[in-house]
Each structure stands twice: as structure tokens, then as C-alpha cells.
């Protein structure tokens, strides 16, 4: 950020953007906007801006990126959409990045995009650090495209206020995305539409089919909406804001980012700030951090943690047509190949970060005193009685002096542990790895969370192993041309271990107990590569009586009964959106136990995992605390 005033303008632009976009959040259609709709009396509360306050506090305390998940869990308690699954994982002890991936069907969502823009402000002119922190932030509750698109947003925001034009932002976003990622595809399709002279509404209609998504909050789609605002707005903050917000989707997040970027480079028209009261409006999820009193106070607090580079006049890459207007008369692809000026921060995706963006994030990383510990789950972090779980522990020394490490591992009573942990020395930058195998006791009930206690030089770390969900399944049954969906098979009425049913090809089938990780149920193997019907059954115990929602999302069709009452029913071959929306969601009340029966259908094509989870009335993701055995 070249000057403090640019930073302050950027913060004000982000407030305007989130307020403009808030009423359009979740919309799948395009709306041409002339102004706020409706005209607000105050700013809209923003989960992203409240996360900025947590991150500002984190940086002010000098805490490392590995501690972001602990700061979020302590101070930012929103539990909607993908955050709900991360909150569950963090409550069970799983840290980032596995917290954003494990049992999170919304990991490719867009909820981290607005948060990521903060790191571009905090590390203005330093895209490398902005990308690193944005990765650590987004991976708390996202994975895959949900993280890489957030990293691209932070990269663009780090250039704001440095004289960049639309071509620079496009080039920066593409450089920050892994090659071949869906984010790259989204920006390529956007540029094709823009260069072909398509208007905003036409472009908006072309993107979802090109990305094969029906989810308006899919991160790559919303990254494209952000960049579209920069392209079609031509450097004018008002035009850019209206373009992005009108695209819907994660409109509050997207317009926040566009407001930040454009306002850092050009003055906001006062008409955008005039309707907003001076007060900062806070939501319900911020904990133990005092919110700012006014919007100006917000700008002051953000500015206080930024170390600005020396201001210097910058020559920018050529604008697409002029310094104000961006049109399709000169293809953006050609403009992005312009030679970058030395004073413009170079954007290069570091090889280590690129690797982390493309690998399955099956580990947790934490700072332990002066050391960095990661524990990688070779197997899913779900215990099954009598079966082994393999882990790899890696201890690194980021400090400047040699360290002697004295590791001590303690396992719970009855658990078997095998490892070669021993004392070792680490010089600066060195790492050591140790394999670890643990086994839950045979024929025992596993606690919801079982912690291995690892001590490194008197600092204790809890490494969690989780109990899975024991469900019973039976099938496959006959499904000719979808006719099995409405046919009542006897398994719908008889849930008894040992009972034999007439399955597909007249083969006998029985209820079989299997421990699943939960949320994502991979049932493809149960169908033996053919069309059919499979049932899942469980009698699940909930911690508290009350009203709950069940979500069952699959690609062909599903029926769900809770205590014999049907709550979900749909038959439609499609790409599901595993959110708590119709037709996937049903409501039920429970005193203690709920008996759940799920009917899943497969046609000729392979079936992606069934997404099945529970939500409390306030949106929290709820895991049953126990499961009863099926009677024999």
C-alpha cells in the first residue's frame, strides 16, 4: 500500500462492498444494479470483517501463521456453511489444515475469500507473505479450490494501492493458482467471455456450465465474479462494485474484495458512504475481542498493524484501453503478457506452497514452543476396535539455534502404540520424522475423541483419534430404470441382524455393520458397479433433546425416514449441492435417540459419496454422541 490514505480508503471500500452485496448473498441469477438495493441505514454485519479483527489481534501479538486456527477457535465462532464443519473438527482437536478437509463437504466454498483480502492489506506489496498467511487462514475451514482461490484473492489485494490495473490483477491471480486448478479454468472462461465482447449477464450465464457447478457459492465461480468486477468496472469503484455484487453467489465476500481493491487505487464516490451510519455493526460470533466503535475506528485498527513500504511512483503495465475504461477491444490475455515493471511486486507461487495447495491436507500443523510439529494421518483419523491407525510425526526447528528435543508419548489405557521416538538434535531449519502406529482395544466402545499425549520439551500436544459412526447397510436391491426408488423393499420394515433379504440377481443380502468416518459415505463399492438400491440404518443418540435438521445429498435420488417419518425425498440425476437447502434437507425432533433409515439409488454411472450430516437449529454441525447396536 503506497500510502496510509490508500489503506484507509481500502477498508472503507470493503465496508461498502459487503453492505452492497449482503442482500444478494446466495443468489444464483444476475441482477443489474444501479445502487444499493435496498438502501441501507447502516453497514451490514460481516463475518469476514470480524475475522479481520481476530487476525489483526493475532498479528499484533506476534503470533505465527500456525496459530491462526487457535485464534479463530477462541475468538470467531460463526458456524454456518463450511465453518460449521471446521468448528466441529477444531472442537475435537483437529487443527489446520486437516480441519478444513476432514468431513467437510463444503470445503470448496467461498467463505474464506473476504477473510483472505485482509492478508493483502497486512502484507501490502509482499504477495509471498500474503499468500502464506492466506493459506493458513483458508485451510482452517476449506481445502482444494476453497483455499487456492483465497490465496489468489490475497495476492491481488497485496497489489492494491500500488498502481496496478485490471491486467495486473488478472495476471497476479493466475500466477497464484496451481496449474490446472478449477480456479485457472474459471478465469480462462471469464477472459474468453470478456474478450468475445459478452456483457456481464451473458458472462454470468456462461460460467456455471463451464465449471460444471450448480452451487452459487463455489469458490472458483466467485473468484471469477471478483475479477469480472475489476474487468467490467474499468477502474471505477462504483461500477466495479455493482458488477460484482450483481453476480450474486458469495456477493458479500466478493464485493468486499472488489471494494478493497478499487478503493485503494481511486476515491470512492461519497454517495456510497453517505447512507451508512458511522457505527461499526458487529454480528454475534466475535468473542473476547472488543469491536471498533465506528467504521473509521476499524480503518485505524487495521492500519495500526500494517508495515507500509516506502512510497514510490510506480509505472504500471499498459491499461487495456485507457486508465479508466476497460473494454474488450484489446484482449485481456494480450495485456497480461506485458513486461512487469521492477517496482511492481512479482507474484510467483512458491513450490512448497504450490505442493500444499495440490496435496490432500491430511495433517495438522502447530507451533510447540520454539518448534513446529505436524502430525500426518496416513489413515483417516478414525479408530475402529482392533485396527491400526498410522501417523507420521514431523518436528521442525525454525529457530536460529540448535535444539535438543526430548519427546515423550503416552497412549490411553488399553491402546497399543508402536514408535521409534527418541531424543534427537535439530539444527536451524532441520526436520525429523517418526512413524507412529496406534491400535484401539478390541471389542471396546471408543470414546468420541481419544487423545494421544505427546510432550516435546515440556510442551504437551494432544493428537486426537476420533470414533467413527457405526451404521448398518444392506443391498444392493434391484433398480431397473429407476423403478426401485418408489418400491418398498422389506428392509424398510425389518432392521434385524441376521435377517436375510432377496437382493439383486436373487442373491441373499443381510444387514452389515460398518464404521464410517461420517458426513461422506462412500457407497459405490456396495453397488458392485451396477444399478441398485442400498439402505443405511442407525439408531443415533444426540447430546440434547430438540429440533435438528438432516442433510442427505446424492447424485441420483434419496429417501430419508427419521423415526418412521419420511423427511427427505427426491429423485433427480444431477450434481448435488451438499448444503442445507431443498431438496436435501429435512427436519425432525428428538428426545434422546433417533432411528434413521436412508435409501440411496444408483443408476448406471458411478455414484459419488453420499453426503449425510446433522445440524442443530442454530446451524452447528452436530455429531451423534453414540449409536445403538441393531437387535438380532
Helix H, strand E, coil C: the string for 115-137 is HHHHHHHHCCCCHHHHHHHHHHH
Residue 563 has pLDDT above 80, yes or no: yes
Q: Which domain holds residue 237?
A: 4-353
pLDDT, one tens digit per residue, over 503-520 is: 999 999 999 999 999 999
The helix (run of H) or strand (run of E) holding residue 171 is: helix 166-176
Q: Are 132 and 217 contained in the same domain?
A: yes
Instruction: Report how far apart the first and last C-alpha atoms of the chain are (Å, whole number).
Output: 69
Do residues 413 and 475 share a domain? no
Beta-carbon contacts of residue 449 (< 8 Å; ≥ 6 apart): 92, 93, 464, 465, 466, 467
215-256 pLDDT per residue, tens: 999 999 999 999 999 999 988 999 999 999 999 999 999 999
The answer to whether residues 448 and 299 belong to one domain is no
Query: How high is the pLDDT of residue 1?
Result: 43
Q: Which of 288, 321, 353 is the last residue of a domain?
A: 353
Question: 511 and 376 in one domain?
Answer: no
517's grid cell: 468416518
- Residue 343: the pLDDT is 60
List, for residues 346-397, the tens digit of each pLDDT value.
899 999 999 999 999 999 999 998 999 999 999 999 999 989 999 999 999 9
pLDDT of residue 612: 98
pLDDT tens for residues 15-73? 999 999 999 999 999 999 999 999 999 999 999 999 999 999 999 999 999 999 999 99
Question: Could you give the angle at which helices 68-75 and 47-60 cross, rounded to 10 degrees?
Answer: 120
Note whether 451 and 475 are same-domain residues. no
From 353, 372, 391, the end of a domain falls on 353
pLDDT at 314 (0 to 100): 36
pLDDT value of position 341 = 36
Grade residue 337 by pLDDT with cuts at 50, 70 and 90: very low
CB atoms within 10 A of CB 91: 14
3-class state of residue 552 by DSSP: strand
| Residue 601 backbone zone (phi > 0: left; psi -120 to 50: alpha; other: beta) | beta
How many CA atoms lie within 13 Å of 90's alpha carbon, on the beta-carbon side?
Answer: 29
Same domain, 24 and 155: yes
**Nearest 10 degrees: Cα torsion 544, 545, 546, 548:** 70
Number of domains in the chain: 3
Confidence of residue 443 (pLDDT cuts 50, 70, 90): confident
pLDDT band at 332 (very low <50, low <70, confident <90, very high): low
For the chain, give the mean pLDDT: 92
DSSP string, 216-250: TTBHHHHHHHHHHHHHHHTT-HHHHHHHHHTT-SS
Q: Are strands 382-383 and 459-467 parallel, antiparallel or unpaired?
A: parallel
**Domain shared by 502 and 420, yes or no:** no
The verdict on 374 and 342 lying in the same domain is no
- pLDDT at res. 235: 87
CA 3 – CA 306 distance, rounded (Å): 11
Of 144, 191, 151, whose CA–CA distance to 170 is shortest? 191
What is the band of 308 on the pLDDT scale with cuts at 50, 70, 90?
Answer: low
State the cell numbers at 284.
454475534
Average pLDDT over residues 303-323: 48
The CATH number of whichever domain residue 371 belongs to comes to: 2.60.40.1230
Q: What is the pLDDT of residues 170-218, one digit of tens each?
A: 999 999 999 999 999 999 999 999 999 999 999 999 999 999 999 999 9
At 564, which CATH number? Answer: 2.60.120.1560
Q: Which of 353, 384, 415 is the last residue of a domain?
A: 353
Cis ω for the linkage preceding 618 (within 30 of 0): no
One domain, residues 127 and 260 = yes
Q: What is the pLDDT of residue 255?
A: 98
CATH number at residue 34: 1.10.4080.10
Contact 204, 191 (CB under 8 A): no
Is 361 within 8 Å of 143 (Cβ atoms)?
yes
pLDDT at position 345:
80
Q: In this structure, are 285 and 373 located in the same domain? A: no
Residue showing cell 501417523: 391
Q: Among candidates 207, 218, 272, which has minimal Cα distance to 249?
A: 218
Do 347 and 401 lie in one domain? The reply is no
Reference 264, options 134, 382, 124; nearest CA is 124
Q: What is the pLDDT of residues 319-331, one digit of tens each?
A: 333 222 333 334 5
| Residues whose CB falls within 8 Å of the CB of residue 82, separated by 6 or more in sequence, listed in order | 100, 104, 106, 107, 109, 111, 141, 142, 146
Percent of the chain with pLDDT over 70: 93
Same domain, 259 and 329: yes
Identify the DSSP state of 590: E
CB–CB of 52/287 below 8 Å? no
Amino acid at each position: 500500500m503506497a500510502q496510509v490514505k490508500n489503506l484507509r480508503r481500502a477498508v472503507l471500500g470493503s465496508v461498502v462492498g459487503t453492505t452492497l452485496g449482503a442482500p444478494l448473498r446466495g443468489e444464483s441469477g444476475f441482477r443489474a444494479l444501479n445502487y444499493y438495493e435496498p438502501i441501507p441505514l447502516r453497514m451490514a454485519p460481516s463475518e469476514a470483517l470480524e475475522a479481520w479483527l481476530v487476525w489483526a489481534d493475532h498479528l499484533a501479538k506476534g503470533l505465527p501463521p500456525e496459530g491462526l486456527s487457535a485464534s479463530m477457535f477462541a475468538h470467531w465462532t460463526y458456524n454456518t456453511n463450511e465453518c460449521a464443519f471446521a468448528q466441529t473438527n477444531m472442537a475435537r482437536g483437529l487443527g489446520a489444515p486437516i480441519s478444513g478437509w476432514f468431513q467437510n463437504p463444503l470445503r470448496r466454498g467461498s467463505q474464506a475469500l473476504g477473510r483472505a483480502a485482509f492478508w493483502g492489506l497486512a502484507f501490502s506489496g509482499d504477495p509471498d507473505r500474503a499468500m502464506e498467511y492466506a493459506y493458513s487462514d483458508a485451510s482452517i475451514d476449506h481445502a482444494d479450490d476453497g483455499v487456492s482461490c483465497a490465496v489468489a484473492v490475497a495476492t491481488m489485494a497485496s497489489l492494491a494501492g500500488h498502481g496496478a490495473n485490471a491486467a495486473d490483477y488478472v495476471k497476479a491471480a493466475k500466477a497464484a493458482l496451481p496449474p490446472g486448478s478449477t480456479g485457472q479454468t474459471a478465469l480462462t472462461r471469464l477472459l474468453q467471455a470478456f474478450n468475445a465482447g459478452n456483457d456481464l449477464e451473458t458472462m454470468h450465464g456462461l460460467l456455471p456450465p463451464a465449471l460444471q457447478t450448480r452451487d452459487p457459492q463455489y469458490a472458483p465461480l466467485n473468484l471469477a465474479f471478483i475479477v469480472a468486477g475489476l474487468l467490467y468496472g474499468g477502474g471505477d469503484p462504483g461500477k466495479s462494485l455493482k458488477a460484482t455484487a450483481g453476480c450474486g453467489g458469495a456477493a458479500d465476500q466478493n464485493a468486499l474484495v472488489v471494494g478493497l481493491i478499487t478503493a485503494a487505487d481511486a476515491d470512492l464516490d461519497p454517495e456510497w458512504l453517505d447512507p451508512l451510519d458511522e457505527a461499526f455493526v458487529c454480528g454475534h460470533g466475535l468473542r473476547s475481542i472488543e469491536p471498533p466503535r465506528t467504521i473509521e475506528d476499524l480503518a485505524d485498527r487495521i492500519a495500526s498493524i500494517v508495515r507500509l513500504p516506502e512510497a514510490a511512483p510506480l509505472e504500471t503495465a499498459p491499461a487495456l484501453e485507457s486508465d479508466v475504461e476497460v473494454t474488450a477491444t484489446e484482449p485481456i490475455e494480450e495485456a497480461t503478457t506485458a513486461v512487469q515493471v521492477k517496482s511492481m511486486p512479482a507474484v510467483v507461487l512458491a513450490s512448497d506452497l504450490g505442493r500444499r495447495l495440490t496435496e490432500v491436507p491430511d495433517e495438522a500443523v502447530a507451533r510447540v514452543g520454539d518448534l513446529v510439529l505436524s502430525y500426518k494421518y496416513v489413515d483417516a483419523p478414525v479408530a475402529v476396535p482392533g485396527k491400526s491407525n498410522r501417523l507420521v510425526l514431523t518436528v521442525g526447528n525454525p529457530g536460529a539455534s540448535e535444539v535438543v528435543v526430548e519427546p515423550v508419548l503416552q497412549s490411553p489405557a488399553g491402546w497399543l502404540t508402536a514408535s521409534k521416538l527418541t531424543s534427537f538434535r535439530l539444527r536451524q531449519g532441520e526436520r525429523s520424522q517418526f512413524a507412529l502406529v496406534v491400535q484401539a482395544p478390541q471389542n471396546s466402545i471408543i470414546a468420541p475423541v481419544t487423545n494421544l499425549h505427546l510432550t516435546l520439551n515440556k510442551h504437551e500436544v494432544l493428537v486426537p483419534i476420533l470414533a467413527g459412526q457405526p451404521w448398518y447397510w444392506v443391498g444392493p436391491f434391484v433398480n431397473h430404470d429407476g423403478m426401485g426408488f418408489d418400491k418398498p423393499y422389506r428392509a424398510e420394515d425389518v432392521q434385524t441382524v441376521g435377517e436375510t433379504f432377496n437382493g439383486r440377481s436373487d442373491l441373499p443380502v443381510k444387514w452389515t455393520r460398518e464404521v464410517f468416518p461420517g458426513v461422506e459415505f462412500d457407497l459405490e463399492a456396495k453397488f458392485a458397479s451396477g444399478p441398485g438400491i442400498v439402505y443405511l440404518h442407525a439408531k443415533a443418540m444426540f447430546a440434547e433433546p430438540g429440533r435438528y435438521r438432516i442433510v442427505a445429498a446424492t447424485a441420483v435420488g434419496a429417501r430419508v425416514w427419521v423415526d418412521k417419518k419420511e423427511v427427505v425425498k427426491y429423485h433427480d440425476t444431477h450434481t448435488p449441492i451438499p448444503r442445507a437447502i431443498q431438496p436435501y434437507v429435512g427436519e425432525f425432533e428428538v428426545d434422546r435417540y433417533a432411528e434413521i433409515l436412508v435409501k440411496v439409488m444408483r443408476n448406471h454411472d458411478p455414484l459419488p459419496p453420499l453426503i449425510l450430516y446433522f445440524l442443530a437449529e442454530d446451524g452447528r454441525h452436530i455429531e451423534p454422541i453414540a449409536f445403538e447396536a441393531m437387535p438380532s
